[in-house]
Structure 1
Amino acid sequence: MVDPGHGGDDGGAKGTKGLKEKAAALEIGRAVAAKLQAAGFEPLFTREDDTFIPLWDRAKAANAQGADLFISLHLNAARAKAARGSEVYFLSLGQGDDDEVAATENAGAGAAPGAEDSVVASILDDLAQKAFLQDSERLAVAIQGQLNRLAGIKERGVKQAPFVVLRGAAMPAVLVEVAFISNPKEEEKLKDAAFRAKVADAITLGVRRYFAQANGGVRRRMVGGPSLGRP
């Protein structure tokens, strides 16, 4: 499941030259889906146009489709314009490595639907992701390594944070901050289809390496449909 972040009234972060995170994330999502399909995967989308999808509904859609992986795509922002490169996160159920980034991406999510009525539902959401935390970390490491090469950065490091969009995903799930939209040079790169294709290649190679290391052990099968997974 490819999840382009933000959308609709939620524009996300904005670059100094006007690029909106929601638009860049969608274009990157399309490029990632095309590369994944070429590699033999069956990509699905949480959104394919400028539509707002509530954060809590995104993992729910991945669960309903029986997706093997959940990859949420975003653009980072920092006060220091020199900040560059990619960061890949997996879920923290407590305090994370960068709660400021998580707070920005979680803005407007509100409480989980029905949370006030069902403590059990909340516990089940936590258990769903706990079962896949190690696989999520392996996926994050595999993708981060490829994106570091693309950016020419030795290591930014995989991190954990309490992202709402990853909660309740019953599969390995990561959030990719592809680049810093606050960095004018990276903002320009994000407008370039060739650069977005390189990002998509890096993410796809990370996914392929993850499945090769997992030996297919985390594959799930759609109810009444074909299996998603590695070629």
Structure 2
Amino acid sequence: MTGWWHGARRWLGMAAVGLCVASPPSAAEIAVDVGHTLVAPGATSARGRSEFEFNLDLARALVEALEGRGLPVRLINEDGRIPSLQARPQAASGSDFLISVHHDSVGEHELRPWVWEGQALNYNDDFAGHSLFVSRDNPDTARSILCARIIGARLQRMGFVPTHKNGRRRAYADTQHAVHYYDGLAVLRHARMPAVLFEAGVIKNRDEELLLRDEARIRLMADGIATGLAACLRNGVPADGEAEADALS
């Protein structure tokens, strides 16, 4: 549980000498979607907390970090009552980018039982780390991949470590930065702007769950995501490989 502190110290030192990414010259609006709902709260953590609660904490921190860079932000589904998956990209209409915030789990067959404070729960300590997803059915796959890559690279430079467990089922758009294709995800494929789904970590992992609850670490991760997005939207230019992904849609 010390790796992210090493990254934090390095990041804070960089910020102190003015190496933070500046705000984009034209303020692109970013829609931040809180994954899942009160009725369908997603996975349950190793200690019994809903994924929606984790998602909301990180989404709020991300909004604050983006606003701190002078970027207008639209927070979607803060109350957890959005009526459908399709309503999420509809609520983002007019924004320049959509990021949907989630936390990861593992398959039922990989879970192990344990008891926490009298509750019969389950866990899996084999997998940890963040990952990112894009859709080739999105109208701007190229910029979606570019921004996902930049976010992933920023987080890794800060000391965050991605997971590659999702590579067992999802093809890579970028192996190094754990960016995967997941074409059928409704929030990505129905978006009319570039879009990324971000999995912050594996809440079934008992050690990582504690990190994902830590307020300082949440803010640090949000800062890394915001830095990556600001850099991408300010002057990022999709590479040939990213542009080719649009031709596959």
Query: Could you tell me the TM-score, scaled by structure 1's length?
Result: 0.72
CA deviation after TM superposition for structure 1 residue 6, in Å: 0.4
Report the count of equivalent residues: 177
Does 2:115 match 1:87? no
CA deviation after TM superposition for structure 1 residue 20, in Å: 1.0
Q: Deviations over 1:40-70 (max 9, x none)?
A: 001101112232441111001111xx10100
Question: What residue number does 1:224 align with?
Answer: none
Question: What residue number does 1:37 align with?
Answer: 67
**Rg larger in 1 or in 2?**
2
CA deviation after TM superposition for structure 1 residue 199, in Å: 1.1
CA deviation after TM superposition for structure 1 residue 82, in Å: 2.2
Query: Judging changes above 3 Å, is the alpha-carbon distance between structure 1 residues 4 and 151 closer, same or farther for their aligned structure 2 residues?
Result: farther
Question: What is the CA–CA distance in structure 1 between the aligned matches of 2:73 and 2:80, rounded to whole Å?
Answer: 18
Does 2:204 match 1:196? no
- C-alpha contact (below 8 Å) 1:88/1:159 kept by paired residues: yes
Higher relative contact order (CA 8 A, sep 6+): 1
Question: What is the CA–CA distance in structure 2 between the aligned matches of 1:146 and 1:200, rounded to whole Å?
Answer: 11
Pairing partner for 2:97 from 50, 69, 84? 69
Which segments of 5 or more consecutive residues in structure 1 lack a partner in the other structure? 94-128, 216-231
Does 2:201 match 1:179? yes
Which segments of 5 or more consecutive residues in structure 2 lack a partner in the other structure? 1-30, 111-123, 163-175, 238-249
Does 2:169 match 1:141? no
Question: What is the CA–CA distance in structure 1 between the aligned matches of 2:101 and 2:180, rounded to whole Å?
Answer: 15
3-state SS of 1:74 partner:
strand
Does 2:164 match 1:164? no
Q: Deviations over 1:76-122 (max 9, x none)?
A: 112342211110111134xxxxxxxxxxxxxxxxxxxxxxxxxxxxx
Query: Judging changes above 3 Å, is the alpha-carbon distance between structure 1 residues 89 and 9 closer, same or farther for their aligned structure 2 residues?
Result: same
Question: What residue number does 1:109 align with?
Answer: none
Question: What residue number does 1:6 align with?
Answer: 36
3-state SS of 1:178 partner:
strand
Question: What is the CA–CA distance in structure 2 between the aligned matches of 1:17 and 1:148, rounded to whole Å?
Answer: 27
Q: Deviations over 1:3-24 (max 9, x none)?
A: 0100111110111111210011
Q: 2:104 corresponds to which letter in structure 1?
A: N
Question: What is the CA–CA distance in structure 1 between the aligned matches of 2:90 and 2:74, rounded to whole Å?
Answer: 13
Does 2:80 match 1:50? yes
- Percent identity between matched residues is 29
3-state SS of 2:181 partner:
strand
- C-alpha contact (below 8 Å) 1:9/1:52 kept by paired residues: no
Instruction: Give the CA RMSD over aligned residues.
Output: 1.7
3-state SS of 2:96 partner:
coil
CA deviation after TM superposition for structure 1 residue 177, in Å: 0.4
- C-alpha contact (below 8 Å) 2:149/2:177 kept by paired residues: no
Pairing partner for 1:23 from 38, 45, 53? 53
Question: What is the CA–CA distance in structure 2 between the aligned matches of 1:209 and 1:52, rounded to whole Å?
Answer: 30
Question: What is the CA–CA distance in structure 1 between the aligned matches of 2:38 and 2:194, rounded to whole Å?
Answer: 27
Question: What residue number does 1:223 align with?
Answer: none
